Structure 1
């Protein structure tokens, strides 16, 4: 079903998720659950809509995930206020201009808590200078309405940028403000306030940790930068080149000097650590000099592969952020043989859906 945002029902749906997660993980004997509630509306910093053409009309649509039926979207209460403000203004500007509306099939919005916005328009045709000139006029109309948005036009092997292709997010983590470059068409945490809570929780549970931190699947350095104060050094891996580039930007923007980002997959890094393969990307990096007692993993929905689970087990402390409780359970079935869950958290990233994000902090069992 489509997401129905109703603040009056939010608490009940959150309690249902809490009960479900507690029951699912009861066999692992976790401690009491740390529950982090979302804002009940305007919590999503991203939104994507298909565009429907009907005679002279133009409007956003989404598809019901179960029935696959399309439905019109004029406002989207799940999205940030600035996205909702921009949605109708953009359509009003596009409708009368054949150059701008022809072959347009999708609009993506990326916003930030700090009030920045990037609008990406996707086309089934190549974009020329006439398009760019007309779109500049749309951008000026938005500015006159108080919305300072960058606009991107995308077509096959083509990208035209009016402004910039990223937002600069500012997150409050504990008592510190962190700046993150978030590039359009790249993965970023969708719920900004929840991201602040996740980072603050991770910082708290690793307080007092010793040595260095290893992070797999680091993205744009979201956790790496926030956790850097708790460790001597942070060594992080990420495979997507755009995310690695943003991570390097974020390291410099926050004046952090103890974080190193490697462009490698978790599987490749496992091979490097085991000495199975050598990588030119590791030239100048002395892996043996790192004293990593703690490892952080934030894997995709498929969870950790078997070899990476074995690698993770070697560390004293494991911080596991999961977007899929089912694969988390599968991984914990192995990890719990050597580690005990000392902290357990639910992050309600996606209110009014079945989706649950969880965090576990595991510590190695003491030998008898």
Structure 2
């Protein structure tokens, strides 16, 4: 019987069948302890808080109390019982506490967010600071319209791509890849797909610069876009930290960049960032869009470039987008990444070259 990863590869081959008949590379994940970020309900029972998840095995949504969870990174698994033991019996920290979120890193740093159904006060902050020191982590408190950052609201991650280390700032609440080992494989695949170039790269939806940094080593210059202010700030930190001095970030959506490059609109944000689109000689575009895929106007923009590297978290929208992209390009390689082992979720990558 094929493994889940092999089933995912077969599924991707079916989606790509009208455009590509070659092999699909497979990149596996550790079977357990792979998830770097996770959140749990906090369930109060017998006068004590417990971690909880929803169990829908029988088709009914029921609470299941747990002590740890096999898919979380070992650092999260180790701190979970310590956190619960430290707060049990402390009414200041447990009163109306209903959720906890963990963000771990391969670098060893961790951020824990405690979420409440009440306003947090000075007493909570004092108790949380003591907890932060006891556990040697960064703690954030959240409630409706309230966020208390005790030390900092980010962690610094280190990823290894083809023997090169990159340091990233990961912001609490911002998007990060949940499986660091598979993320490193995705980055290496994208770098290998890009090859070495004397021209420039355009990247849409760059987030905190996850792909941007290693890809910048492959091109003369990189123009990256991202609409989120916090993600742009994190990416700018990472660019400076890693001395990737050939990257410029435009705080524009993909749709806005399409309008700018077509001459339909001018954006002050480009001028403020010192970006002159005429100074770029773009040959390749990298996209890692949200689950909804890419809008039609942006797809038309992509068709103007020689190569497209496309990472997809939704094979259905990838297949839809390929209906347009393969009018001008052909798929020359494909890969599937086991981002979420033992689940139906499929993460894919395709490289297209202009016909």
Structures share a fold, TM > 0.5? Answer: yes
Other-structure match for 1:19: 10
Say if 2:83 is the partner of 1:109.
no
SS of 2:275's equivalent?
coil
Structure 2 portions without partners, runs of 5+: none
Q: 1:232-247 to 2 correspondence within 5 Å? A: 232-247=220-235
Q: How far apart, in 2, do the equivalents of 1:333 and 1:72 lie?
A: 46
Other-structure match for 2:87: 94
The structural deviation recorded for 1:360 is 0.4
Candidates 338, 345, 348, aligned match of 2:338: 348
The aligned length equals 351
Other-structure match for 2:130: 137
Q: Retained in 1: the 8 A contact 2:48–2:89?
A: no
1:281-316 alpha-carbon deviations (Å, 9 max, x no partner): 011321011001100110000000111111111110
Q: 1:74-223 to 2 correspondence within 5 Å? A: 74-142=67-135, 148-223=136-211
Q: TM-score normalised to the size of structure 1?
A: 0.92
Other-structure match for 2:269: 281
Q: 1:276-355 to 2 correspondence within 5 Å? A: 276-283=264-271, 284-355=274-345
SS of 1:28's equivalent?
coil
Q: Which moved more, 1:175-184 or 1:320-329?
A: 175-184
Say if 2:218 is the partner of 1:225.
no
Q: How far apart, in 1, do the equivalents of 2:334 and 2:163 lie?
A: 23
Q: TM-score normalised to the size of structure 2?
A: 0.96
Question: RMSD value over aligned CA atoms?
Answer: 1.4
Q: Which moved more, 1:278-287 or 1:240-249?
A: 278-287
The structural deviation recorded for 1:55 is 3.5
Q: How far apart, in 2, do the equivalents of 1:204 and 1:342 lie?
A: 13
Q: Retained in 2: the 8 A contact 1:212–1:294?
A: yes
The structural deviation recorded for 1:161 is 1.9
Q: How far apart, in 1, do the equivalents of 2:348 and 2:270 lie?
A: 32
